[in-house]
């Protein structure tokens, strides 16, 4: 039973990690190199993460500079950024690409805050599904005689405490990211 509980706890932690990495890609008015994490560049026919084809730096609070290791990648990187959902036009000076992040409008901030809440709700639903799977597994074990009725109740309590902690963490992550986005 302990090993099964550990497995379900790992699944919940993984869900939380995915949520936090998604939050890292949401821009909040400041330049954050993680917004480029999902962008892939066509590097000699192979889709390659942007971080693997050049140096990415943040010289100012609202600017990211990408310096490709090969000059011929400038146009390819520029095209990849334009076709992404980033919503920023890159400027190419022949040696580096600059991304200037404009101040977010209040309307855009509110929209991003809604997106953050929606992703948080998605994570909670995923965790509830994990709880349901766990409870189903424990009920099957009880029916087959691998677990007593008392153990079933104990396992149910433990999985509930686990999910309560995880949902609290999700709520905290949502609150933190929302606050970050809405702060001007």
Residues (pLDDT < 50) of the chain are none
Number of H helices and E strands in the chain, helices first, is 4, 6
Residue carrying structure tokens 């809440």: 117
Please name which of 19, 24, 18, 20 lies closest in space to residue 36, comparing C-alpha atoms. 24
The whole model's pTM is what? 0.68
CB 158 within 8 A of CB 6: no
What is the span of the domain harbouring residue 143? 2-24+105-182
pLDDT for the residue 29:
64
CB 104 within 8 A of CB 113: no
Quote the number of domains for the chain: 2
CB 63 within 8 A of CB 31: yes
**The last residue of a domain, from among 100, 129, 156:** 100
pLDDT for the residue 184:
62
Q: Are residues 41 and 65 in the same domain?
A: yes
């Amino acid at each position: 039973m302990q090993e099964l509980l550990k497995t379900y706890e790992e699944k919940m932690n993984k869900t939380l990690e995915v949520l936090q990495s998604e939050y890292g890609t949401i821009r909040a008015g400041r330049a954050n190199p993680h917004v480029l994490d999902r962008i892939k560049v066509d590097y000699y026919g192979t889709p390659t993460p942007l971080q693997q084809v050049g140096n990415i730096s943040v010289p100012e609070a609202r600017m990211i500079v990408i310096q490709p290791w090969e000059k011929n990648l400038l146009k390819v990187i520029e095209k990849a950024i334009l076709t992404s959902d980033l919503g920023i036009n890159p400027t190419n000076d022949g040696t580096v690409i600059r991304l200037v992040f404009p101040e977010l409008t209040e309307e855009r901030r509110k929209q991003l805050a809604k997106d953050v809440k929606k992703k948080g709700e998605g994570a909670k639903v995923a965790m509830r599904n994990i709880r349901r799977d766990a409870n189903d597994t424990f009920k099957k074990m009880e029916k087959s005689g691998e677990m007593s009725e008392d153990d079933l109740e104990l396992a149910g309590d433990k999985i509930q405490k686990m999910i309560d902690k995880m949902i609290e963490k999700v709520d905290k992550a949502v609150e933190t990211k929302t606050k970050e986005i809405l702060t001007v």
